[in-house]
Amino acid sequence: STGAVKMQPKAEELKFVTKNDGYVHIHPSSVNYQTRHFESPYLVYHEKIKTSRVFIRDCSMVSVYPLILLGGGQVHMQLQKGEFVISLDDGWIRFVAASHQVAELVKELRCELDQLLQDKIKNPSMDLCMCPRGSRIIGMIVKLVTTQ
């Protein structure tokens, strides 16, 4: 009966941060405009516009593993203050891994996926689900993302 209940922010108060623009807001015409809580703090977006302030449209929430595995740039790992940190985009996006082993496995899975995609680009007729290496990598990614 005492204390306060944390309120979700109003749609116009919800803001995110981008590397180049600082704070951005979800555009009122976006399907996600009325969404007041996202399970993950990361969004990907298609369009960014500036009117009265900077807005993003066509956005979707993305969780950590898909962002690490499918995000652009190199994946780096380092030990900081006793924690293993996985970083993307020259350290701008950072995640703390549960252990050194988890960090190494995720980094290696990303390298394997990148190589698999390079192989597919070189040989477009290659069926990734039928080749043993491709099916193992894809299966591991599906398992990781669906059990996150």
Sheet of 42-50, strands arranged across: 15-18, 22-26, 54-62, 42-50
CA 63 and chain centroid, separation: 5
User: In the chain, where do the E strands start and end?
Assistant: 15-18, 22-26, 42-50, 54-62, 76-80, 83-88, 93-96
pTM confidence score: 0.76
Looking at residue 46, what is its pLDDT?
Answer: 92
What number is the average pLDDT over the span 84-110? 89
Matching residue, tokens 């990361």: 42
Mean pLDDT of 92-103: 88
Q: Higher pLDDT residue, 69 or 6?
A: 69
Domain extents in the chain: 9-61, 63-144
Query: Residue 27's pLDDT band (boundaries 50, 70, 90)?
Result: very high
Whether the predicted pLDDT of 72 surpasses 80: no
